[in-house]
Amino acid sequence: MIPSRIALVVTEFPNVLASLAMFWDWNIDGWIVVAGALAAIASSLLGCLLMLRRMSLIGDAISHSVLPGIAAAILIFQTKSNSWVFFAAALAGLFAVWLSSAIKKWGGVEESAAIGIVFTSLFSIGLVMVFRSDSFLDLDPACILFGSLETSILAISKTWLGPIPEVVVSLAMVCALNCLAIIALFKEWRITTFDPEFANTQGISDSIFHYLLAALVSVTCIAAFEAVGTVLVIAMLIVPAATAYLLSRNLQVILVLAVVISVLFALFGHLSAIGLPKLFGLKSVSSSAMMAVMGGLFLSLAILFSPQQGLFAQWLRTRKISAQILQDDLLALLYRAAERNKAESSTAPCTMLVSDMSVLAEKPLPMLRKAIRHLEKNALITTSQDCCQLTDAGNKAAQNLVRSHRLWEKFLANEMKLAENKVHPHAEKWEHVTSPNMRTELDALTGNASRDPHGREIPPES
């Protein structure tokens, strides 16, 4: 069943793309993508600062806590004017941050637990206010949670640029506000984010920027509520920032990447919402929900394929290190074999057979032959009729490896008082990362010893 469904999806995918291009309506689909992108950009810019300040959960708390502020503003002032609602939302967000800090400080509660207590309590209070006063508030709890991106663009506002959906206008204003706040105060944001104690000594109050960030998040949440709802606001605050952080460690680059990722997951999220369900014979799904799903997909791809932090890059580095360790071990094996041949006054032309090296290295023969080919390519060994020998360059490299190993054994036996039968495993690991300077220091610490704890000669530095 599943393979046949996958085959159907693959065969029908070009037809779905063609239908999307044919029925795309910029007056509807275009504004949906623009609204989603603006909400994502406004949220992700602040999300980068929240993440770097280790405050991502605070963003979650604020996005839930503004609801009672919205309801209270409408009930108290008997108006749905955006200015009063935005002001009340900002106050509610600031109150949530202050209350979390107060519970942590005076209640002795762990920070994440305090945040969880605050946002669940305030969000519950907000929902109660909405349900009990629905005759006036006219707020749909489902819309608060999941948004209504498709219908929010139907309310049109006349501007000097022409008719534009009201939600796009409000989101554009909030997005511009967030961009201006970050660009104008970039130096202050950077120093308070990475070194708040130093910022305070320079007269830049970390607390002021802490609460300013909370106020901006509150305003952003209320602007995005109608379009994308609470769930997607949380995703937009966290996912683009986390994805960008996996791709870079430079703050400016992180902010730019977060903006680009926000636009992409808004675009592909909407396309997926109207296109993917058709492949499975289903109706279209919520665009805001699919934007969140697409954000999760982008994050998953970054986790897998990030150039530095990705699992694939880590696997490649691990494989490269493992290959290098095996090559080092082979050089050391050949060096020790040459030592034994010299001690036994052997004149055998062969230092060691490949089959014997495979047994001693405890590695399968194909893997061993690959390492041998790499050593041959670097002119460290030569092979003839399945027999391996060190070149002059290989002998020098192997001599330093064995010297590192035996110096570590001597150091562990002298300084750490380890028994002779326990020093080898540690030395075997550390020999691969021992630099010439470390060998010089180990040599001095061991009193320029000439032999290791097993009585074997410690070779000189080559």
> Among positive and negative, which fits the CA dihedral 323, 329, 335, 338?
negative
Same domain, 34 and 142: yes
Same domain, 324 and 301: no
Q: Quote the pLDDT of residue 449.
A: 87
Same domain, 294 and 319: no
Low-confidence spans in the chain with pLDDT less than 50: 1-2, 5-6, 8-10
Q: Quote the pLDDT of residue 139.
A: 58
Indicate whether 248 belongs to any domain.
yes
Q: Quote the pLDDT of residue 2.
A: 46
Considering the entire predicted model, what is its pTM? 0.78
Indicate whether 460 belongs to any domain.
no
Same domain, 79 and 128: yes
Same domain, 344 and 412: yes
Indicate whether 415 belongs to any domain.
yes
DSSP tag of 432: G
Q: Three-state DSSP class for 157?
A: strand
Same domain, 49 and 180: yes
Indicate whether 352 belongs to any domain.
yes
Domain count, the chain: 2
Indicate whether 450 belongs to any domain.
no
| Rama region for 78: left / alpha / beta (φ>0; ψ in -120 to 50; rest) | left
Same domain, 292 and 242: yes
Beta pairing, strands 162-165 & 156-159: antiparallel
Q: Three-state DSSP class for 447?
A: coil
Tokens of 406: 């035996």
Of 222, 311, 268, nearest in space to 29 by CA: 268
> Within 13 Å and on the Cβ side, how many CA atoms surround 390?
21
Same domain, 214 and 163: yes
**Looking at residue 417, which CATH number applies to its domain?**
1.10.10.10
Three-class secondary structure assignment of 302-331: HHHHCCCCCHHHHHHHHHHHHHHHHHHHHH
Indicate whether 11 belongs to any domain.
yes
Same domain, 168 and 292: yes
Q: Quote the pLDDT of residue 9.
A: 46
Q: Quote the pLDDT of residue 80.
A: 59
β-bridge partners, 20? none
Same domain, 299 and 325: no
Same domain, 293 and 265: yes
Of 41, 45, 43, 38, nearest in space to 251 by CA: 45
Indicate whether 27 belongs to any domain.
yes
Of the three residues 306, 330, 351, the one that is the final residue of a domain is: 306
Domain that holds residue 281: 2-306
Same domain, 354 and 299: no
Q: Quote the pLDDT of residue 348.
A: 63
| Rama region for 448: left / alpha / beta (φ>0; ψ in -120 to 50; rest) | left
Of the three residues 248, 279, 306, the one that is the final residue of a domain is: 306
**Looking at residue 86, which CATH number applies to its domain?**
1.10.3470.10
| Length reported for the chain | 462
Rounded to 5 degrees, φ, ψ at 165 are: -55, 140
Indicate whether 111 belongs to any domain.
yes
